[in-house]
Homo-oligomer: A and B are copies of this chain.
Amino acid sequence: MKNRVEIVDVAPRDGLQNEKAPFSTEQKLELINGLIDAGIRRMEVASFVHPKRVPQMADAEDVIAGLPDRADVTYIGLTLNMRGYQRAIATRDGGRRGLDEVGCVIVASETFSQKNQGQTIEEGISVASEIISAAHSDGLRGQATISAACGCPFEGEVDPRLVIDIAKQVADLNPHEIAIADTIGVGTPKQVFELFSALRRALPDMPLRGHFHNTRNTGIANAWAAYMAGARILDSSVGGLGGCPFAPAATGNIGTEDLLYMLERSGIETGVSLEKIIDVSKSLEPILGRPTPAMVSKAGGFPAPAQETTCVA
């Protein structure tokens, strides 16, 4: 089990949330079914946020109602407050399948937390505590993500001691795992290795999950650094879907096919088929009206396709 990574595909949530192209509920369910068919066994399927703020998530309940009832797949919904949690838990009303897990977010920057969530970090931890406790009472898994962990758009550097301090407090809530998110894609492999190593030492028994954006082309390097420091759960988004509106040319999450390529060639098992993920990635392009940012779906896997014209140097 040492050389195994659980890939959490976040395309249906983080990948789509800022996407301008309108994805219908049916198209989202096709995406989710494609991911399951490719071997993905855990994914973020929706977030419960105000539809005016994130229109792409307005049909969260409909998507969840249409999820295939697979016992071997874990569906996560993101909830930023108890109002969101109430919507998440309601997906199970009347004995319906609904969600298996809720995620909540603590921002590791006072300014970012206040500007985006209207709450202090302390309040963020308190909300996370409420959500995870409620989830446990309701028989759901609860996980916590510490976001902006590699840098903040307002404050710049984020002190790793702050991240570790938050993680320790979050660990007391007994979450399924703690995810560390480089929300704005500024992290570097040295930084990520040091941060995850410190977390590993501080919380030796807590499963760590890494969430990286490829905004500055460091995403895959950061994922590898997190793996090297002990993370065995990594987020990615098929096609590299996603991205923040503030940097239109920048990609979002690291691409599932790119992560998978690196892990497979490194002898790490994931249970996910690269070929099928590439098919899912390609199926998104007509909806998006543009190529996805991930690379392996264009370049192909290994061995590379041979051509006489290949340049030698």
Contact = CB atoms under 8 A, between A and B. Distances in A.
A129 interface: no
Nearest to A213: B299
Contacts of A265: 186, 188, 190-191
A295 B47 contact: no
Contact of A266 (B115, B151, B190): B190
A224 interface: yes
Contacts of A294: 217
B183 A313 contact: yes
A313 B215 CA distance: 14
Interface residues of A, number: 78
Given A189-B221, A216-B296, A313 B266 contact: no
Nearest to A294: B217
A234 interface: no
B151 A304 contact: yes
Given A112-B312, A185-B299, A248-B298, 10 more contacts: A112-B310, A155-B303, A181-B313, A188-B266, A190-B265, A190-B266, A214-B217, A217-B219, A218-B262, A221-B221
